[in-house]
Amino acid sequence: MTFKKRMSDTLGIPIDAEFVEETQENQLVTVDELDLVNSDDATVDSDYVYARKNLRELIERGMSDLEEIANIARSSENPRAFEVMNGILKTMMDANKDLLELAKSKKELKGSTPKDVKTVNNNLIVASTAKIQQMIENLENDESNR
């Protein structure tokens, strides 16, 4: 049974209806964006979108928590509050690094595909010997003029 079918049965919504999920920022995100697809590129893209969305949400929540704990630490002047604030700061820095590493990993995965590589094994030049010699001389002149 597919995810959409289970959701349709659970919520009593016809399967043709648009499935949406409302995020904390009141943005609508279709569930299809989060579904995993069998193709490799689509899976990489889907996983990237899902992981990036989660990391960004965690970073936003962490920033608001950091502001609250900073206020508590300033008002109480308790060493434990400052220790907790430092822990949250370290966690936020790690989450930001993870977000950047995620983008770098996606770029590496996308860049490693052989689509971009063009290999020419057999070159065939259809020209006379005089024409080829003239081309070589022109190349040598261009290189010496640089």
Number of domains composing the chain: 1
Residue 37 pLDDT greater than 60, yes or no: no
Angle value at C-alpha 38, between 33 and 41, nearest 5 degrees? 70
Kindly state the average pLDDT of the residues 102-113. Answer: 77
Q: What SS3 state is found at 22? A: strand
What pTM was estimated for this model as a whole?
0.45
In the numeric block, which tokens belong to residue 126? 């259809």
Does any domain span residue 4? Answer: no
User: Does 104 or 5 have the greater pLDDT score?
Assistant: 104
Please tell me the distance from the alpha carbon of residue 53 to that of residue 66, in angstroms, as a whole number: 20
The reply to whether 13 falls in a domain is: no
Give the pLDDT mean for 3-32: 54
User: Which domain covers residue 41, as residue numbers?
Assistant: 36-145
Q: Is residue 87 part of a domain?
A: yes
- Residue 81: inside a domain: yes
Handedness of CA 122, 126, 130, 134 (dihedral sign): negative
Has residue 68 been placed in a domain? Answer: yes
pLDDT in tens, 50-68: 888 988 998 899 888 888 8
Say if residue 34's pLDDT is above 70: no
Q: What is the model's pLDDT at position 115?
A: 56
Q: What does the pLDDT read at residue 11?
A: 64
The reply to whether 30 falls in a domain is: no
pLDDT-derived band of residue 15, with 50, 70 and 90 as boundaries?
low
